[in-house]
Every structure is written in C-alpha cells, then in structure tokens.
Amino acid sequence: MAHIIVVGNEKGGSGKSTTCMHVATALARSGFRVGALDLDLRQRTFGRYVENRIAFAQKSGLALPTPDMRDLPEVEAGQLQPGENAYDHRLSAAVSALDAGSDFIVIDCPGSHTRLSQLAHSLADTLITPMNDSFIDFDLLARIDPETNKILGPSIYSEMVWQARQLRAQAGLKPIDWIVLRNRLGAQQMHNKKKVGKALEDLSRRIGFRVIPGFSERVIFRELFPRGLTLLDLKDVGVDNLNISNVAARQELRDLMRAVNLPGVDVAF
Ligand SMILES: Nc1ncnc2c1ncn2[C@@H]1O[C@H](COP(=O)(O)OP(=O)(O)OP(=O)(O)O)[C@@H](O)[C@H]1O
Ligand SMILES: [Mg+2]
C-alpha cells in the first residue's frame, strides 16, 4: 500500500503547496512512484504547479521526473450509498485509484477547514504541518498565556488532528507521524524565533508531534512556480553555478527530507 503524506494547516499561506511540490518532486527524482492530489479545489496551487512543470518539460524537451497529479473524480448522486458524503466518496475513489501504482501519495490541503481536509488527515501516515514562525500561526495549534507563555490548551487545528488520530485508532490503523515544520525562518527576529521555538517544544511533548526546521525565507521559492520547478531541478535547466542561497536551500530540503524520515527513503540527492 502507498504511504500517504498529507500536508495540512488551516492557516493560509504557511507553505503547504510549496512543501508538497518539493517533497513530491524529491521523491519522484529519487525514483519513487508518486501520486498527488490537491484538495484545494478552488486555488489548486499544487495542481497548477504540476501542470506548469509538465508544460515546461514539454516545451524545453527536458525529462523532469514529475508526480502523477490526479483530479478528484466526479460522482453522480446515484453512485453514493445512503447517507454517504459526496466528498468522502470522491477522495476515497481518488486514493484507491492511485494506491496500487504509487509508493507515496502526497496530498495538499486548503488553508481552511473543509470536509475533504478533515478526511484527508485521517488518511495520513505522515502529516506535515508547515507554519510561519509567528504566534499568529501558533494560535491554531494552541492557546498560550500572554504573560507566562504557558500553554493553556490545544486549539482548533490540533483538535482536528486529534479527531483524525481517534478515527485511525478506531479503524486499527497505525498512528499518524505528525511533523510541524518551521517555514520561512529568518536571520532576524531572534527573540521571537526563540520564543516560538520554546512554545513549540513544550506543545510537541504535550500533544505529540515532532518539530523540524523547514525552509528559510528565500525569494527563489516565489520564482520557481511559473515553470513548475523545484530547487532540485535547477541544474537540469542549465543553472550551473548555484549561488550560495540556492545551495543552502537545497541543503535545507535535504535536511527536511531526512528529518521527515519516510519509510525506505535514503536521501541521496
Ligand atoms: N521559505 C519561503 N521563502 C519565501 N517565500 C515562501 C517560502 N515558503 C513559501 N513561500 C511563499 O509564500 C506564499 C505561500 O506559500 P504556499 O502557497 O506554499 O502556502 P499555502 O500554505 O499552500 O497557502 P494556502 O493556505 O493559500 O494554500 C507563496 O507565495 C510562496 O512562494
Ligand atoms: Mg496552498
């Protein structure tokens, strides 16, 4: 069975689609069969990212390893069981269609709470939650006391993950490996960075996730999308001399993939 990687956070703009594209492409480039689904049916950033990649590869004649992105199949009312939700049916059908032919399925979630996102979380073997290093983003994970920074209790997104974990336990599935990825880390704001880091560490012990470093704040991430490229493709498209920032970004992706620690994946790029 395919190992399902869900990338989710109800907070918008935290780096979910960027993370999806980089993780899925890193796996495809390592020779794995990678299925992909974009549950942000409106923005479709991950879907558009892969479409851009296919178009660029065709135009340039380059063979770029690419995840197998599928749309959710449509469903007629007559195909549903009594009481069955149409979104549940569509997601299950899409995962089943990819399962046999994929080593991994990478699923991008919207930056909001939806039925599809909730269900996807319960399918996750690995859940990656990118977050910006800010207490605004932290607020969706837990409430904290503004004076002492003590954690007062879990918040909406953590509660949703908890429900997904309960569902999996009831179904006898193995627990979710939940990873919070700190994205867009900057060289400045050391004080805030330390405070968020400490709060995340406290919370991780309490509600059970791992914290890993993600990507630093880098302009390159915004430039790659139109051609559907990732940090790993730059050499293929003729960028011979990677600048220091790009080399450092590749190293961050390597460290990220090692820290995510997917089964059978030896990070050798
Ligand atoms: N490490 C980074 N450095 C610089 N820009 C970044 C970084 N990570 C993401 N971005 C930029 O931030 C914006 C939001 O990223 P992305 O679309 O991946 O987030 P998202 O969580 O999928 O958003 P949404 O919730 O709207 O789906 C994009 O413009 C992206 O290029
Ligand atoms: Mg997105």
Q: Domain for residue 145, yes or no?
A: yes
Q: Domain for residue 184, yes or no?
A: yes
Q: What is the mean pLDDT of residues 46-53?
A: 98
Q: Domain for residue 266, yes or no?
A: no
DSSP assignment of 34-74: EEEEE--TTT-HHHHHHHHHHHHHHHHT------EEEPPPP
Encoded amino acid at 1, one letter: M
Q: Domain for residue 218, yes or no?
A: yes
Say yes or no to pLDDT of 240 above 80.
no
| Residue of the CA atom closest to atom 3 of ligand 1 | 217
Q: What is the mean pLDDT of residues 19-31?
A: 98
Query: Ligand 1 — pocket residues by CB below 6 A?
Result: 12-18, 40, 43, 45, 110-111, 183-184, 215, 217-218, 221-222
Check: CB of residue 140 under 8 Å from CB of residue 26: no
Q: What pLDDT does residue 160 have?
A: 98
Which pair of tokens denotes residue 147? 């004076």
Question: Number of folded domains in the chain?
Answer: 1
Q: Domain for residue 147, yes or no?
A: yes
Q: What pLDDT does residue 238 have?
A: 86
Q: Domain for residue 11, yes or no?
A: yes
Domain that holds residue 59: 3-260
Q: Domain for residue 187, yes or no?
A: yes
Tell me: the pLDDT tens digits for 103-147?
999 999 999 999 999 999 999 999 999 999 999 999 999 999 999
Tell me: the pLDDT tens digits for 63-79?
999 999 999 999 998 99
Q: Domain for residue 134, yes or no?
A: yes
Q: What is the mean pLDDT of residues 214-230?
A: 94
Q: Looking at residue 110, which CATH number applies to its domain?
A: 3.40.50.300
Tell me: the pLDDT tens digits for 95-110?
999 999 999 999 999 9
Q: Nearest CA to 125 among 1, 257, 25, 250?
A: 1
Say yes or no to pLDDT of 242 above 90.
no
